[in-house]
């Protein structure tokens, strides 16, 4: 509510006073009367989204370096179709069009980075439409979806194009010993171990964004530093993987080490960018720990016993479904309540 302060004041009549005081307006100023707090942190939804996009730049750069600049088309198609789907659905539903908040573009970008190099552009477009349409807008748009939209899109593509989505390209600087298969697939199907150094730099087969662990970590640490990513989720996933992966490794040393599990596949990409999606992760601190451990547990089971070599996508989607329940059972104890209970 905004009122013209001095206009309202021009005639101030006081009861019990014979004269009418007239105050001349000194300056014409409009005053804001909203209630406290009068200060606000400078974060906005769109700023958050663009920060995440910025954090993905190292991963994009790594993808273009290792798999060639033409991969940019996958990204462009995914982003364009995501934004297009968002605008179309909001137009049809006669809702406010909000593509400029950056959330749809971010979903498209994340989807693109989970796809294999040289993936079909038409399939990419379908994935983007599904991600925004089925993953987000059908629930009511930003803030209301249960499952990570980019992963919903990818899960659809995995079902629809099972061969294409597991067809990997050799990285650009591959020496002869490096296969085009991902480290996890190489291990699962051919019992070949990939060394951690290659996985760190990214000179391995794999999806666009997950290839370089170091690029993912740079972006992830940036997001933790600016306070967008809550450190509890990636940390609990990593601890969870060390514990659960470690247990399986101790039981049977034929299984890969927990460190391999962390650097292989899209574990780090998922931990930094997918599981930490605000909308689809728990809102309580305790809940975030449960969520992270849960993902690692489901993931290790899929990787070791499942038919697929990789399971980050499914484990995150699986745990997304538990988020409302986790939130409900991890309500923080109100300040002072515990002490009172102890006294009694």
Partner 1 sequence: MSSKTFKSGIHPKEYKELTEHLSFETIPLPDEITLPLSQHLGKEAKALVKKGDEVQPGQMIAQAEGFVSAPIHSSVAGKVMSLGKEQTSSGFPKDSIVIKTNETVESQKFLFTPLNPNAVTAEEIRERVALAGIVGQGGAAFPTAVKLTPPKDKTIDVVILNGCECEPYLTRDYRFMIERPDDLISGLKLIMKALDVKRGVIGIEDNKPEAIKILSGKAKYEEGIEVVSLKTKYPQGAEKMLIKAVTGREVPPGKLPLDVGAVIQNIGTAIAIHDAIVNGEVLITAALTVSGKGIKNPKNLIVPVGTPIQNVIDYCGGVTEDAMKIVVGGPMMGFAQFDLQAPVMKATSGILVLTKDEVAKNPETPCLRCGQCIEACPLNLMPTKLARYTQLNRFEHAEEAGITVCMECGTCAYTCPANIPLVQWIRLGKQKVLQMQKERVVK
Instruction: Tell me which of 13, 20, 24, 35 binds partner 1, using CB under 8 A.
Output: 35
Interaction of residue 57 with partner 1, rule CB under 8 A: no
22 forms bridges with which residues in the sheet?
11
Query: Residue 267: which residues within 8 A CB-CB, separation 6 or more?
Result: 237, 241, 261, 299, 312
Nearer to partner 1, 12 or 54 (CB): 12
> Interaction with partner 1 in 168-207: which residues (CB under 8 A)?
none
Interaction of residue 94 with partner 1, rule CB under 8 A: no
3-class DSSP state of 86 = helix
Q: How far is the CB of 36 from partner 1 (least distance, A)?
A: 5
Instruction: Tell me which of 40, 159, 177, 252 binds partner 1, using CB under 8 A.
Output: 40
Render 249-269 in DSSP notation, one character per residue.
HHH-TTSPPHHHHHHSTTHHH
12 forms bridges with which residues in the sheet?
21
Q: Which of 73, 56, 71, 313 is nearest to 169 (CA)?
A: 71
Q: How far is the CB of 91 from partner 1 (least distance, A)?
A: 18
Residue span binding partner 1 (CB under 8 A) among the ranges 185-193, 247-255, 279-287, 309-317:
279-287
Q: Quick one: CA dihedral 141, 290, 259, 214, positive or negative?
A: positive
Interaction of residue 28 with partner 1, rule CB under 8 A: no
Q: How far apart are CA 151 and CA 157, in angstroms?
A: 10
Instruction: Tell me which of 7, 91, 172, 333 binds partner 1, using CB under 8 A.
Output: 333
343 forms bridges with which residues in the sheet?
none
Instruction: Tell me which of 98, 179, 180, 196 binds partner 1, using CB under 8 A.
Output: 98
Q: How far apart are CA 210 and CA 212, in angstroms?
A: 6
What DSSP state is assigned to residue 271?
I
Nearer to partner 1, 49 or 204 (CB): 49
Instruction: Tell me which of 7, 10, 25, 43 binds partner 1, using CB under 8 A.
Output: 43
Interaction of residue 41 with partner 1, rule CB under 8 A: yes
32 forms bridges with which residues in the sheet?
2
Residues that bind partner 1 (CB under 8 A): 3, 5, 8-9, 12, 14-17, 26-27, 29-45, 47-48, 98, 101, 141-144, 227, 230, 278-285, 288, 331-340
């Amino acid at each position: 509510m905004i009122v013209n302060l001095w206009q309202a004041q021009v005639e101030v009549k006081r009861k019990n006073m014979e004269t009418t005081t007239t105050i001349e307006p000194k300056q014409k100023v409009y005053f804001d009367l909203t209630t406290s707090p009068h200060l606000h942190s400078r974060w906005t939804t769109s700023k958050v989204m663009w920060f995440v996009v910025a954090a993905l730049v190292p991963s994009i750069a790594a993808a273009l370096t290792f798999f060639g600049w033409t991969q940019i088309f996958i990204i462009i198609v995914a982003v364009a179709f995501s934004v297009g789907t968002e605008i179309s659905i909001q137009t049809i539903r006669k809702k406010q069009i909000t593509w400029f908040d950056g959330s749809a573009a971010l979903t498209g970008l994340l989807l693109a980075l989970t796809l294999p190099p040289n993936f079909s552009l038409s399939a990419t477009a379908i994935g983007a439409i599904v991600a925004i349409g089925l993953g987000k807008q059908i629930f009511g748009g930003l803030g209301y979806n249960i499952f990570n939209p980019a992963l919903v899109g990818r899960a659809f593509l995995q079902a629809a194009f099972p061969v294409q989505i597991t067809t990997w390209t050799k990285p650009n600087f591959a020496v002869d010993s490096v296969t085009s298969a991902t480290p996890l697939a190489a291990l699962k199907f051919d019992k070949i171990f990939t060394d951690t150094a290659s996985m760190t730099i990214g000179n391995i087969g794999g999806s666009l964004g997950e290839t370089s662990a170091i690029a993912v970590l740079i972006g992830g640490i940036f997001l933790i530093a600016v306070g967008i990513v809550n450190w509890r989720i990636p940390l609990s996933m990593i601890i969870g993987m060390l514990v659960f992966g470690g247990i399986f490794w101790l039981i049977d040393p034929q299984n890969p080490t927990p460190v391999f599990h962390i650097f292989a596949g899209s574990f780090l990409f998922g931990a930094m960018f997918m599981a930490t999606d605000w909308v689809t992760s728990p809102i309580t601190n305790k809940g975030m720990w449960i969520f992270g451990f849960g993902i690692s547990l489901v993931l290790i089971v899929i990787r070791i016993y499942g038919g697929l070599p990789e399971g980050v996508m499914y484990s995150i989607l699986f745990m997304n479904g538990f988020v409302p329940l986790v939130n409900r059972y991890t309500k923080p104890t109100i300040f002072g309540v515990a002490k009172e209970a102890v006294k009694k």
